[in-house]
Chain A
Amino acid sequence: MSEMTQTAAKPRIERSATASRTYAIFLIIGLVALILAPMFFYPIFLMKLLCFALFACAFNLLLGYTGLLSFGHATFFGGAAYFTAHVVKEWGFPPELGILTGVVGAALLGLIMGFFAIRRQGIYFAMITLALSQMFFFFCLQAKFTEGEDGIQSVPRGHLFGFIDLSGSTNMYYFVLAVFLIGMVIIWRFINSPFGMILRSIRENEPRAISLGYSVARYKLGAFVMSAALAGLAGGLKALVFQFATLTDVAWQMSGEVILMTLLGGIGTLIGPIFGAGLVVTLQNYLATSQFPVTIVTGVIFMVCVLVFRRGIIGEFYASRLGRKLGFEHRR
């Protein structure tokens, strides 16, 4: 028995070695592309893309690695955008402290929402997060500091650490890129930590994780707060990039968008959501100039993805012949 598992396990180790080599090559290509990108593309577009990519990866931490579908992530993204915009504009915080405020605020919101939502599972979890985030939407609609329908406008980008001027788009782009990479490293470390392994075991078989003595509720809450904080990082960053925070960021459509990005890119893959976000943002930019409404396209893509494309782009690639040859395997 043990001999069999050993022989079975051996080629898998080799495969994953190929995979990590391929990963390293792709990583270098990706980094170079991101560093050179502002020469070829409009920087604001790239920054928007990076913000949403980070947001989608943060969301995927919960759906892909813990198996919890949150329909309320707009609360953390948009909430952090409001917090950052407010402290930077009204209290004169520097950008790094402003974003930190956004992250802490989003984590607190995540703690509150998670506390209620983890009491139910599956579909109910999705409905509870949706309802609570709608409640936060109404709060933002009525609260004074969000400035209602107008939102917080003309937020200054300020000077990073007091001496790097972020008002130029080149400086801002590399700042956004740096934050994005830090966020990705945190996510990567998180899902490969013992904590992340336990989250995956909860995703695969919750009763078994409970019977092994893990306090599942606490792990779920931890994952929820972590995901919320990272979504807040993306939201705070977005507020500085566009220099405003509005109700759009906290509306339920935003929660839907991030689900679509993750689904399209590949649920449970580290880099899938980046591609998903890239596609969705590109599509939105493209359709913004035409009369055709984005919602119809978004809805149809949703339906098609769920019906025939559940692995998403990266998941399909991993499961394809080429992907397997390169040493990937598609779990889930």
Chain B
Amino acid sequence: MTMIFGIPLQAFLGQLLIGLINGSFYALLSLGLAVIFGLLRVINFAHGAQYMLGAFAAMLMLEYFGINYWVALILGPIVVGLFGAVIERTMLSRLYNLDPLYGLLFTFGLALAIEGTFRYLYGAAGQPYSVPAQLAGGTNLGFMFLPIYRGWVVVVSLVACIGTWLLIEKTKLGAYLRAATENPVLVQAFGVNVPVLLTLTYGLGAALAAFAGVLAAPIYQVSPLMGSNIIIVVFAVVVVGGMGSIMGAILTGYMLGIAEGLTKVFYPEASNIVIFVIMAIVLLLRPAGLFGRDA
């Protein structure tokens, strides 16, 4: 058997793939956080809860309406995005003139309330959601066995990340968004409806989280706790990347996911703290974060 650094190549590549998949979710989630933070100056603590909502949406749609995975992949994010927009319109928008910490505390409360509700209704245990038939099974690449669904997740989340990046950097709507980030008052004076833009942004961020949630449903168990487990890691990712750039958030997500996967190969005990350790090192060497502009 081929060996690499004294580790069987199969195991090495297997963990690398898991790292890449985790990295995809980190990238999607930290991207959403960065988009929301860029315009609203709010750290969306409920991002994990919205990710969890996406997974639950997929599961419940299948259970009650027989809606399949492919439709859920579109419908789930729309439902959660609308929910996010309502929250922003009715409550979050009242906090913009205050210290940004209040936004964090509000969304923290929101996350607790959502998570608590789903725990109450569905219990803390995870529930399975099966891989769609079209993506079931795996393929032998010669050097490793690749479950097709996992490959699909890596590809589609990469597409979603690049799509969001293009939306913000290359379209007219994105130009408005970026302009409103720099100077909301001036943009409003030019006749752009900034409050609607803010609602749209929060809805988009929530929808992205839900999209990640639907993608994650067949891989991890659908559980009320899946959101809070991942959101703290994503926060560390965001600290490492700095929230100044969209691309930075995406790259950091993938990098740290892979770093986590590799740690599982070489020193499994440290695998769930390695991201925090990297965060601490980055804070020592480059406090503003790898791609950060603001100190």
Contacts and interface: CB of A to CB of B under 8 A. Distances in A.
A296 B120 contact: yes
Contacts of A294: 116
Interface of A: 69, 116, 119-124, 126-128, 130-132, 134-135, 138-139, 142, 252, 256, 259, 263, 292-303, 305-307, 310
Nearest to A259: B105
A294 B119 CA distance: 11
A128 B239 contact: yes
B62 interface: no
Given A69-B104, A139-B273, A300-B109, A131 B116 contact: no
Contact of B232 (A69, A134, A293, A306): A134
Nearest to A142: B269
A220 to B, nearest CB: 14
A138 B235 contact: no
A120 B283 contact: yes
Given A295-B115, A299-B110, A131 B105 contact: no
B180 interface: no
Nearest to B106: A306
A116 B33 CA distance: 22
B293 to A, nearest CB: 13
A293 B116 contact: yes
B223 to A, nearest CB: 14
Given A123-B104, A306-B106, A295 B43 contact: no
Contacts of B91: 303, 307
B59 interface: no
Interface in B83-118: 91, 94-95, 98-102, 104-106, 108-117
A138 B273 contact: yes
20 contacts: A119-B283, A122-B101, A123-B104, A127-B43, A131-B233, A139-B273, A252-B228, A252-B232, A256-B112, A293-B119, A294-B116, A296-B112, A298-B109, A302-B109, A302-B113, A303-B106, A303-B110, A305-B105, A306-B105, A307-B95
Q: Taking each of A120, A306, A310, which has the highest tally of chain B beta carbons within 10 Å of its own beta carbon?
A: A306
Given A252-B232, A299-B109, 9 more contacts: A131-B279, A138-B272, A299-B111, A300-B113, A301-B109, A302-B112, A302-B113, A307-B106, A310-B98
B116 to A, nearest CB: 3
A302 B101 CA distance: 13
A323 to B, nearest CB: 22
A126 B100 CA distance: 11
B95 A119 contact: no
B248 to A, nearest CB: 14
Nearest to B274: A135
B284 A116 contact: yes
Contacts of A139: 273
B277 interface: yes
A303 B232 contact: no
Contacts of A293: 116, 119-120
A303 B113 CA distance: 9
B109 A303 contact: yes
Nearest to A141: B272
Contacts of B27: none
B276 A135 contact: yes
A239 to B, nearest CB: 24
B14 interface: no
A298 B111 CA distance: 10
The 8 closest A-B pairs by CB, nearest first: A302-B109, A299-B113, A295-B116, A299-B112, A296-B116, A135-B276, A131-B236, A303-B109
